[in-house]
Amino acid sequence: MRKPVIAGNWKLFKTSAEAVELVKGILPLVTGATNVEIVVAPVFTVLDRVSSVISGSNVNLSAQDCFWEAEGAFTGEISPKMLLDAGCSHVIIGHSERRQYFGETDETVNKKTKAAVAAGLKVLFCIGETLDERESGSTFDVLKRQIAGGLAGVPESDLCSIIVAYEPVWAIGTGKTASDDQAQEAHAFIRGEIKGLYSAAASDAMRVLYGGSVKPENIAGLISRPDIDGALVGGASLKADSFAALVNAAQK
Ligand code: PGA
């Protein structure tokens, strides 16, 4: 059985006081969710404070990105070992907003993924097609390329540190969720790619999350599908009650 994951991507929201208030609101609402890997991903500057609040709880801390070098003359970057030092257990890599606005490529995603896993972080490895790509019928080619490129050189023994997040770009922050069928179809394809690149065992064990306008109203249908193991959530993760509702739906 794959343990479901509900991860909240707070993006560029929440000052430290707001972040502390949010996570303090979430904690008492999710204490019963013993069978869900719960993750919150605030901005870098509040990681340390959120880490103190969640210490000893069932909520895990993630960053939204990291660099591949451990240290050096790389102004503005942050390394996996610094994220561990700030209390992170997870990191999001390759989010479509980073690919779209900050020049992230399959090659940089690959370097970051390998460095983060080597340092001992779990990676929320994001992939997904744009609207143009879906409409031109190239969704599966894009996913295939992103998986092969992003995971190049990652040995099967490291896959336990990787969680795939399938996020169709056209569904992120738009209120347009992929239908349960569209999401399941993409997830099954992704699982098939992992099987082809690695093994049936690796593919069976891999958690594949859906992301893109997930909310309490649509989580049940998504998570009931055989290849959907949880969600990476933006907007609905910014309020304690809606995030907790997603966690508790995944627990069922
Ligand atoms: P959304 O964002 O839930 O606001 O669509 C998802 C994401 O970008 O991870």
Does ligand 1 have an atom closer than 6 angstroms to the CB of 234? yes
Residue 27 is classified by DSSP as G
CA of 73 to the centre of ligand 1 (A): 32
pLDDT in tens, 111-125: 999 999 999 999 999
- Contact in structure between 234 and 173 (CB atoms under 8 Å): yes
Catalytic residue, chosen from 37, 104, 133, 167, is 167
pLDDT in tens, 147-203: 999 999 999 999 999 999 999 999 998 888 889 999 999 999 999 999 999 999 999
DSSP, collapsed to helix, strand or coil, labels residue 148 as helix
Is the model's pLDDT at 223 over the cut of 90?
yes
* Chain position carrying tokens 């909310």: 215
* Chain position carrying tokens 């929320």: 124
Catalytic residue, chosen from 37, 90, 95, 133, is 95
CA of 72 to the centre of ligand 1 (A): 32
As a whole-number percent, the residues of the chain with pLDDT over 70 amount to: 100
